[in-house]
Structure 1
Amino acid sequence: MLQLLIDADACPVIDFALSISSRYEIKPILFCDTSHRIEREGAITIMVPKGPDSVDFKLVNAVTKFDIVITQDYGLAAMCLAKGALVVDQNGREMTTDNIDQLLAFRYESAKFRRAGGRTKGPKKRTKENNLKFVRNFQQICERAILLKSEVEKE
């Protein structure tokens, strides 16, 4: 069975993702640390002790090929992509092997700039359009994951 693994700390699209994944019979799992107790009906919640990257490591150890991961963490996305997962952020942008290096480089340069005293803008306020884009793209990713897994199972 396909899984949906959500890096649930600060994820604004949990309810959308759970609604859509239930239609596709994809098993949802929420990962959070003890400072963010996140539970939803119909989803498994895995809580880990608070600590740097504790949620990330638990999630990446649970992911398998063709699972779907929702995260805004490029480092976690890279690890999940290496295991054959499909990865999307809360705005519906898919992270792939074609764009992850550029995203990681941008993250590195931004962190370097901030360490040097620079200031970067935070995320823009979430809009209805962000939600619509997420829903549309997430549905497509669910369909693709199901197709990919069924093709492999036929072999």
Structure 2
Amino acid sequence: MDKQRKKTMIFIDADACPKELKKIIEEQALSHGVGYRFIASFQHYSPTADKNVWTFIDDGKEAVDLFILNHVQKGDMVITQDIGLASLVLSKGVYALSTRGKEYNQDTIDTSLSFRYLYQMERKKGRYGGGPKKLSSEDLEQFSYHLLKFLSLHAGKE
């Protein structure tokens, strides 16, 4: 990918991105003329994936995050469930959105990171929360709303 790219892009941390959201992202980004790229580890490789919008990289604990962090530019969007990645891209002037439609922002990211830490400590103690719940119709509506809001502001901008 060209480091001198000027057009707004959406980068999707695709390893844990639900398929319902992938379809929404593709449809909305295409209708607004905004480029998008799904980034996933080879563990999620599919021979039928469109190589124009999918990038598969080496497996590794933070490989997808590092790829996104190294390619994202100010004004881009990152879609991720990873609060740590969101905090890093926010500092680069990047809009960050969770897969549940929550906007990450500088004012609240420290609180989100603190809660993530507390949850990790609870899991280490053997207290599990049972994993994330299934996406609700409200989550999908919230996600679509914030994605459309971003696309409306950035469509075709260079």
Normalising by structure 2, what TM-score? 0.86
Q: Which runs of structure 1 show a deviation greater than 6 angstroms over 4 or more consecutive aligned residues?
A: none
Write the deviation string for residues 68-107 of structure 1: whole angstroms up to 9, x where unpaired.
1100000110111111100001111100101111110000
How far off its partner does 1:50 sit? 0.6
Q: Distance in 2 between matches of 1:32 and 1:132?
A: 24
Q: C-alpha separation between the residues in 1 aligned to 2:71 and 2:141?
A: 28
Q: Matches of 1:124 and 1:53 in 2, distance apart?
A: 23
In the TM superposition, 1:6-155 aligns within 5 A as 6-12=12-18, 13-37=21-45, 40-41=49-50, 43-144=52-153, 146=154
In structure 2, the gaps of 5 or more residues are 1-6
> Structure 1 residues 82 and 124 mapped into 2: Cα distance closer, same or farther (>3 Å)?
same
TM-score, scaled relative to structure 1? 0.87
Deviation at 1:24, TM superposition (A): 1.8
Write the letter of the residue equivalent to 1:37. Y
Aligned-CA RMSD value: 2.0
Q: Render the CA deviation track for 1:22-56: whole Å, top value 9, x for unaligned.
A: 12211111100001125655852111111110000
> Matched residue pairs, number?
149
- Between 1 and 2, higher relative CO (CA 8 Å, sep ≥ 6) is seen in 2
CA distance in 2 between partners of 1:98 and 1:43 (Å): 35
The residue identity in structure 1 corresponding to 2:10 is: L
Q: Is 87-96 or 31-40 further displaced after alignment?
A: 31-40
Q: Say whether residues 1:5 and 2:11 are aligned partners.
A: yes
Preserved CA contact (<8 Å) 1:27 1:43: no
Equivalent residues of 1:28, 1:43 under 8 A apart: no
2:90 alignment partner AA: L
Q: Distance in 1 between matches of 2:36 and 2:12?
A: 8
Identity across the alignment (%): 30
